[in-house]
Amino acid sequence: MISEKIAQLLNDQITKEQYAAQYYLSMSAWFFAQDLDGIANYFRVQSKEELMHADKMFNYLNDVGGEIIMGEISKPPHQFASHTEVFEKALEHEKTVTRSIFNIVKNANEEGDFATVSFLQWFINEQVEEEASASQLVTKIKMVHGNPSALYLFDQELGQRVFVADPVK
Ligand code: FEO
């Protein structure tokens, strides 16, 4: 049902989602090391979401009879120059993921693989939300820059985020 090319693109995307999980966990660790546990929590939850994205793709590939081949996950950066830089990198990364998903949709459309196009609609919508929230956080972290009281409140706010497991399919 699924071509080798689209299966390959989805396998690559699974690896990219897993890399994103590693990257966000690395950002989380960096904030934990600075006792900004709320921001660290935010990135830890984000990491779990990325693993859920990879799981969704894993299930889909299995459902459509694609061969699942786990890829190598490279080591993410673990040092950052500033609080702002971390949020900017997160936004940049989400934009990369969006482009990658669009590329799969484009290829699936060209092949007439409408099942994959339909499956990826969820990810297209998710990327709109992820880019919007990442962009908003860049604005907010810039606002609190140099103001410890504001940073404290921002940390508290991000500490409220909880991981909500989606039905995996
Ligand atoms: Fe799975 Fe944040 O994109």
pLDDT tens digits, one per residue of 84-109 = 999 999 999 999 999 999 999 999 99
Ligand 1 center to 13 CA (angstroms): 10
Calculate the dihedral angle through the C-alpha atoms of 66, 70, 72, 75, rounding to the nearest 10 degrees. Answer: 110
Indicate if ligand 1 lies below 6 Å from the C-beta of 17.
Answer: yes
CB of 113 closer than 6 angstroms to any ligand 1 atom:
no
Separation CA 142–CA 155 (nearest Å): 13
- CB distance 152 to 37 below 8 Å: no
> Does residue 167 surpass a pLDDT of 80?
no
Half-sphere exposure of 159 (CA within 13 A, CB side): 12
- With beta carbons less than 8 A apart as the criterion, state whether 6 and 107 touch: yes
Q: What is the pLDDT of residue 168?
A: 62
Q: What is the reported pLDDT for 166? A: 80
Q: Spell out the residues 6+ positions from residue 112 whose beta carbon is closer than 8 angstroms to its own.
A: none
Rounded to an integer, the average pLDDT of 20-24 is 98
Q: How confident is the model at residue 12 (pLDDT cuts 50, 70, 90)?
A: very high
- The class level of CATH for 4-158 reads mainly alpha
Q: How far is the CA of 41 from the centre of ligand 1 (A)?
A: 17
| pLDDT surpassing 70 at residue 33 | yes
- Tell whether the model's pLDDT for residue 169 goes beyond 70: no
CA of 130 to the centre of ligand 1 (A): 7
Distances (CA, A) of 67 to 1, 33, 146: 11, 40, 51
Q: How far is the CA of 97 from the centre of ligand 1 (A)?
A: 6
- Regarding the beta carbon of 50 and ligand 1, being less than 6 Å apart is answered yes
Distance (angstroms) between ligand 1 centre and the Cα of 149 equals 31
CB of 155 shorter than 6 A to ligand 1: no
Alpha-carbon gap, residue 151 to 163, rounded angstroms: 22
Please give the model's pTM, rounded to 2 decimal places.
0.95
pLDDT above 90: residue 16:
yes
Which is the closest atom of ligand 1 to the Cα of 126?
A: 3
When pLDDT is cut at 50, 70 and 90, the band that residue 2 belongs to is: very high
Q: What mean pLDDT is reported for the chain?
A: 96
Domain ranges in the chain? 4-158
By the 8 A CB rule, do 144 and 137 touch?
no
